[in-house]
Every structure is written in C-alpha cells, then in structure tokens.
Structure 1
C-alpha cells in the first residue's frame, strides 16, 4: 500500500529485511537463488563495494540496510556521515599485473526525488573510509578474511583541502596516518570525526 503525504508525494513503506527463504510466486526458486546469481562472486567491483559498506556498518554497530540514493554510505546513531570507497589489486577479469589502487568519485552530486540532482558535486560525508582488499593472488584471495582488508580513514576537511575527485592509495596513506584493521575501524572513525 502506498502512503501518500499531504503534499501529494507517494512515500514507499519501510521494507523488512529479507531472510533469503522467501520464494517467488511460481517456480522452485527464491531470494537466496537470486543472491547466488547476482552476488556470489564477492570480487566483482559493485559487490566488493557493497561488502566494504557492510563491513563499515558492522564496525559501527549499525544494522541499517543500505540506502541506494543516500549521499553517503553509513550513518552513526549520532548523525556522523561516513562514505566508503573500496578497491583491490585483483579483479574478476584477466589481468597482466595487479591493479593500481585508486579511489574515484570522492565528490558527488546529491539527489533528491523532490528537488532532483544538485548542480554541483560536493563532499557529502564527515568521514571517508578507504577499504583495500589486499590479496595479490587469486589462490589467497578471501573476501571474508578480515585480515586481508586494510582501512584508511580521512576527515572530510582533508579531502576538501586536497580538492580531488579521485585519489591514489599512496595519497590516502600519506594523509591517513597508516592502515588499520577491521577491529580498530570504529575507533579510528570516531577519532577522525573528533578532529575534523
């Protein structure tokens, strides 16, 4: 059922999280089969991005579902906005050599169904987390092994000062103070937010 606001806009209801056991109306397949079809390879660029966002959500203790059109990827209960960027040395396609780590889309144009797209691209989070899957061979690559991930955390003020749309890992490392593991991620995000 659509919920209409007083000004004529149709607001979608909150959707409860799927369990994976839901079945399609006909056929012998369900949601878990769709997930296996669309997201069974966690190396794929878009899925790796979702995975990195999920890890940041978990580090922050958030159980919120992903919002496709939000201006940032995670938000703490006290309103701290976090953007997550991810990359990896290995891809799902053949490569002559490992990928060069570069993070794109640091600025974006905010979008609202009521006002449309903003005219100008801006930095839309308070804190930026740069997540790197560090495996250098497909034999060792395990996206579920949190020891294979390194995280770098930067305040928005640093990105504004650098004024870049994309950033190499070397630049991120220079300004982040070093890589941290998953276990230290929440504390690092909080520490950076306190300094910004």
Structure 2
C-alpha cells in the first residue's frame, strides 16, 4: 500500500466491516494524551500557516516547513489524560539532536537544533470540566527563533514556561501566521 496517499474516512479496512474512520475514532480521539496532543499541536500550527501539504513524518528533525523555514512544534498542558490530581509543571523539550537522513538511512553526526523556529503550544485550561483541546482559545502559543534558544539556553534539554516567556513572542492561534511572517 502506498503510504504517501491520503486515506479517506470511508476507506474500508479490507476483511472487516469497518473503515479507517472507525480506527481513527478508536485510537486517536483522546487528544489529552501526550503523544496525540503533540501531533494535534503540529496540526494546529500547520492549519494556521497553511502548510499541511505533506504528510507528517514521524521522528523527523522538524515538524513543518513554512516559506522555507523549518518549524519544530512542542506542546504541554496543565491537565494530562493519565494524571488529574494536580497540574503538571509546564516545560518543553529543546534538546539538540542528530538529524536522520531518510534517503541515506543514516544520522548526521552533528548534534544541533535542526529547526529555524520553535512554536511552543500550551493547552492552558486548568478546569477538567471545561478543557477542550479542539477550542483554539484554550491554547497559548510562544514562538522562539532557534538562534535565541542557542544563545540563551545553549545546552539545555528542556525549558520552563517562565524561562520561555523571557525570550519568546506570545500569540493566539489567530495571530500565529502574522507573527511568524514577521520573524522571517
């Protein structure tokens, strides 16, 4: 099967009476889980920038490309699907990594931050009864150029929200494109 093609929701799962939509509903509906919240955050940034023209590549060195700029998307939330007794401390991964080359099937020996810009997405709602990841008003976004992360946090693997706020541009979903265009 060609994994480069887009599946339609009504695509049948051969040998069953189910469709790919049934699978998506079953496996990918709880956006409060860490892995799906992160993928959803990438999707949100891609929709704001209009750059969802390529399928997502798992474990790529960056998440999106917009006007030639490589974008890394990170997400965090106060409320987790797996632990609801107290709020999570907000931090984001910013560690340097080796870039994997899918054409040569090898890692680049250089360890660095491979994106040009980072977009940090915070699902900010703290009320379990009101949290709705599909509501963009419940998200805050922070944009930081990689060169600023390299200057102020050269060896850090994670960054707290307070530290991030010192160097990042804050944004709503509606402002994302305009602010990123201004950073280009």
Shared fold (TM-score greater than 0.5)? yes
The partner residue of 2:163 within 146, 171, 179 is 171
Matched, 1:159 2:159: no
Q: How does 1:98-109 map to 2 (within 5 A)?
A: 98-109=87-98
Which residue among 171, 174, 182 is the counterpart of 1:180? 171
**Unpaired stretches in structure 2, ≥5 consecutive residues:** none
User: Match of 2:27?
Assistant: 38
Tell me if the contact between 1:86 and 1:131 (Cα under 8 Å) persists in the aligned partners: yes
The offset of 1:105, in angstroms, is: 4.3
Unaligned runs of 5+ in 1: 2-12
* SS class of match (1:183): coil
CA–CA distance in 1 between the matches of 2:183 and 2:89?
A: 26
Aligned to 1:190: 181
**TM-score relative to the length of structure 1:** 0.86
The farther-off stretch of 116-125 and 18-27 is: 116-125
Is the 1:154–1:192 contact (alpha carbons within 8 Å) kept by the matching residues of 2? no
* Root-mean-square deviation over aligned CA pairs: 1.7
SS at match of 1:142: coil
Q: How many residues align?
A: 180
Match runs of 1:100-139 below 5 Å: 100-113=89-102, 114-139=104-129
Runs of 4+ in 1 over 3 A off after TM superposition: none
Corresponding residue for 2:47?
A: 58
Q: Residue 139 of structure 1 aligns to a residue in which SS? A: coil
Kept in 2: contact 1:71–1:124 (CA 8 A): yes
Give 3-state SS (helix, strand or coil) of 2:27's partner.
Answer: helix
- SS of 1:140's partner is coil
From the CA coordinates, give the structure whose radius of gyration is larger.
Answer: 1
